[in-house]
Amino acid sequence: MQKNDLTALPAMNTSTWALLKRLTGKYLMPYYKTLFVALFFMLIAAAMTAGFAKLIEPVLDNVLVAKKESLVIPMALAVAGVFILNGISTYIHTVLMNKIGLQIVSDIQRDLFGHFLRLDIKFFQEYPSGQLLSRVINDVNMVRNTVAEGITGIGKSLLTLILLVALMFYQDWQLACFALGVFMPAALFVGYLGKRLRKLSKSIQAEVGDLADTLSQIFQGIRQVKAYGMEDFERDRSGVVIERVRKLMLKGVRVGTLSTPFNETLIGFAIMGLVIYGGSQVINETLTAGELMSFIAAFSLSYEPLKKLAKLNNSMQMGLGAGERILDMLDRTPEIKDVDGAVLLHSENPSITFENVVFGYSDDERNALDDVSFDLPAGKVTALVGASGSGKTTALNMVPRFYDPVSGQITIDGKNLRDFTLESLRKHIALVSQDVTIFDDTARANIAYGKPDASEQEIILAAKAAAAHDFINDMPQGYDTILGEHGTKLSGGQRQRIAIARAILRNAPILLLDEATSALDNESEKAIQSSLAELQKGRTVLVIAHRLSTVQGADQIIVLDQGKIAEQGNHEELMKVNKLYARMYRAGLET
């Protein structure tokens, strides 16, 4: 049996350069003008640091040693000017780069969330919502540190280091070569730590995603948690994930700070060598005290950007680990998409046909639908009934192309569903599911979700038709009442009626009712059955019934059993046949 596995992805180039090229090329380069201005001020700030090291020479030789009184004020003003200019330049480039960084965050979040919305239903079955939230929020913020703060720090530190090294070569090339010999092992060690941190970052982000998912599940099921007295259990369960995150983050700190004792030791020996060698040069009068102190100052100042580069590399590798996870998501492509040459669907009274449809979920050995063929006549009501797992919901989900058949086809007015654009196909469909989705918004916005430009009168008429108007009016702010996350302020029946009002307002020619009255009590169900009957008139309707008594009036009833059609006919015909449907009806089984 063919499975509907996720499309295999090509191997991603995960080298530091390749990841930086993709991230900066797409998200940083649009702001290149601002970036160049920021880099200009970084250069000024770096030049001021090197300038201060150079100023030490005349201050020591001409002011302190030679005691030229006329140079005291100019040298003092020069030193003050260097620090002032450095501070102003640092402020400007920091603000500009953070502006870019925040824009990058919003750009990636928009792209990533928009991309998630284009992916198939089974993608969301594979990845829990907490994992996806972690990618959009935590991972993206880690990438911001890499792209914005990393470039700011690396740009300034690298420019400062280059200028200070140039100054060291200008002062004494032999001492400079000795200094570079110290930098090389430090750079190699930083590279080694970066690789370890990249791997740690991916593990940390994965665990943070697990934590977000665990907390999300607990909050969503808080009624069950409290009803069964499971607060301590859930606290302990989430505590295990929190502890894993803590240990991984602590490991990241330990690995990231390993460079500090290593570099400090190297620099200590280097300074000792400079004092011994440079001191002998001053004693032999081949160097002035000012030149030696200027060189030592340049070397000491160069250690600071070197330390920052090491820390920034650590931060960058952590961010690139998160960036790799983001790009992995952005590289996924939906299987359910418009084919080349797809056309708009225009049909006020569509007929739908399943022709030898076969479909199987990737984690199920048995086909959910196995060579199923039936018609949904235009303007008629077709009911699907059968035991749980018989394939009813799978068949319904294939009409809006949540899934595509493995073999066979589904047609509208004789034309394959795939030949129509997804947007135009789904505009022809209204869905009321047993899993009602209520957004944390007003009652008005929830009813108008499928038709945001609906007038107030249209919304109220839809609510009245769904027997929802009265209880909405009884709420504190009426139609402006916020219904809470998942409709927590509503009963199950009220949530169902909001969903039915939404479908009524949609006024689509194809109506899909997936146990649309399952959450209603008998009185509420009777109150809206007439509204549903009115809504179904002139539409092509596919109903999955919770209670068999509600589908007696369907134009045809299709009985599914283990993915195959067992019986087909209207209520009277199937009762006369006296097989599976009749047994289920008489036994009062819920399907």
Q: What is the DSSP string of 88-130?
A: HHHHHHHHHHHHHHHHHHHHHHHHHHHHHHHS-HHHHHHS-HH
Q: Kindly report the CA angle at 517 between 516 and 518, in degrees rounded to 5?
A: 100
Q: Residues 7, 13, 16, 20: is their CA dihedral positive or negative? A: negative
* Residue 238 dihedral angles phi and psi, to the nearest 5°: -70, -30
Angle of the 150-171 helix axis to the 32-58 helix axis, nearest 10:
30
Residue 60 pLDDT > 90: no
- pLDDT of 373 reads 93
Q: What is the pTM of this model?
A: 0.69
Tell me: pLDDT of 517 over 80.
no
Residue 297 burial (CB count, 10 A): 22
Question: What average pLDDT score do residues 360-378 get?
Answer: 85
Is pLDDT of 342 > 50? yes
Is the model's pLDDT at 314 over the cut of 50? yes
Question: Where does residue 224 rank: exposed (0-12), middle (13-18), buried (19+ CB within 10 A)?
Answer: exposed
Burial of 373 (0-12, 13-18, 19+ CB in 10 A): exposed
Q: What pLDDT does 396 receive?
A: 93
- Which is higher by pLDDT, 6 or 536? 536
User: Tens of pLDDT along 245-278?
Assistant: 888 878 777 776 666 676 667 666 766 766 776 6
pLDDT at 357: 93
Q: Which of 28-42, 216-230, 431-445 has the lowest mean pLDDT?
A: 216-230
- Cα–Cα distance measured from residue 142 to residue 22, given in angstroms and rounded to the nearest whole number: 16
Say whether pLDDT at 375 is over 90: yes
Q: Given a cut of 60, is residue 12 above it in pLDDT?
A: no
Share of residues in the chain with pLDDT > 90 (%): 15
pLDDT tens by residue, 547-556: 777 788 889 9
Question: How many residues make up the chain in this entry?
Answer: 591
For residue 528, the model assigns a pLDDT of 66
Across all residues in the chain, what is the average pLDDT? 80
Classify residue 530 as exposed, middle or buried by CB count within 10 Å of its CB (0-12, 13-18, 19+). Answer: exposed
Q: Which fold has domain 377-393+426-587?
A: Rossmann fold (3.40.50)
Q: Report how far residue 450's alpha carbon sits from residue 430's, in angstroms, rounded to the nearest whole number.
A: 8
Domains 16-330 and 377-393+426-587 share a fold: no
User: 86 with 49: CB under 8 angstroms?
Assistant: yes
Asked whether residue 6 carries a pLDDT value surpassing 50, the answer given is no
Is 17 or 388 the better-scoring residue by pLDDT? 388
Confidence of residue 363 (pLDDT cuts 50, 70, 90): low
Q: Residue 311 — pLDDT band, cuts 50, 70, 90?
A: low
pLDDT of amino acid 150: 64
Position 7, amino acid: T
- The answer to whether 129 touches 213, Cβ cutoff 8 Å, is yes
Q: pLDDT grade, residue 9 (50/70/90)?
A: very low
Answer yes or no: is pLDDT of 84 > 80. Answer: yes
Residue 8: its pLDDT value, please?
A: 41
Say whether pLDDT at 582 is over 60.
yes
Q: Which two three-digit tokens encode residue 353?
A: 């046909």
Q: What is the model's pLDDT at position 10?
A: 45
Listed ranges 261-265, 280-284, 375-379, 451-455; the one with the highest mean pLDDT: 375-379
Q: What are phi and psi of 409, to 5 degrees?
A: -150, 160
Domains of the chain by residue range: 16-330, 377-393+426-587
Residue 591 has pLDDT above 60, yes or no: no
157-166: average pLDDT: 78
* Arithmetic mean of pLDDT, 359-383: 86
Give 500-515 as a DSSP string: HHHHHHH--SEEEEES
pLDDT at 148: 60
Taking residues 427-440, report their average pLDDT: 84
Radius of gyration of the chain (CA): 35
528-544 average pLDDT score:
80
The arithmetic mean of pLDDT across residues 26-50, rounded, is: 86
Neighbours of 360 (CB within 10 A): 19
- How far from the centroid of its chain's Cα atoms is residue 1's Cα? 33
DSSP strand pairing (556-561 vs 564-569): antiparallel
Residues 584/570, Cβ–Cβ less than 8 Å: no
Residue among 403, 406, 410 nearest 367 (CA): 406
Mean pLDDT on 446-473: 88
Q: In sequence order, what DSSP letters do the residues of 384-441 get, joined into one string?
A: EE-STTSSHHHHHHHTTTSS--SEEEEEETTEEGGGB-HHHHHHTEEEE-SS----SS
pLDDT at 73 over 80: yes
Q: Is the pLDDT reported for residue 3 higher than 50?
A: no
Given the structure tokens 């299987």, which residue do they identify?
335
- Give the pLDDT band of residue 533 (cuts 50, 70, 90): confident
Note the CATH number of domain 16-330. Answer: 1.20.1560.10
Instruction: Return the minimum-mean-pLDDT range out of 175-179, 392-396, 464-468.
Output: 175-179
User: Of the given ranges (142-151, 291-300, 386-395, 540-549), which has the lowest mean pLDDT?
Assistant: 142-151
Strand partners, 542: 382, 512
- The answer to whether 194 touches 315, Cβ cutoff 8 Å, is no
What is the secondary structure of 518-548 as a DSSP string? TTS-HHHHHHHHHHHHHHHTTSEEEEE-SBG
Per-residue confidence band for 484, with pLDDT thresholds at 50, 70 and 90: confident
Q: Please state the φ and ψ torsions of residue 13, each to the nearest 5 degrees.
A: -75, 110
Query: Of 181, 185, 558, whose CA–CA distance to 382 is shortest?
Result: 558
Mean pLDDT of the 525-532 span: 69
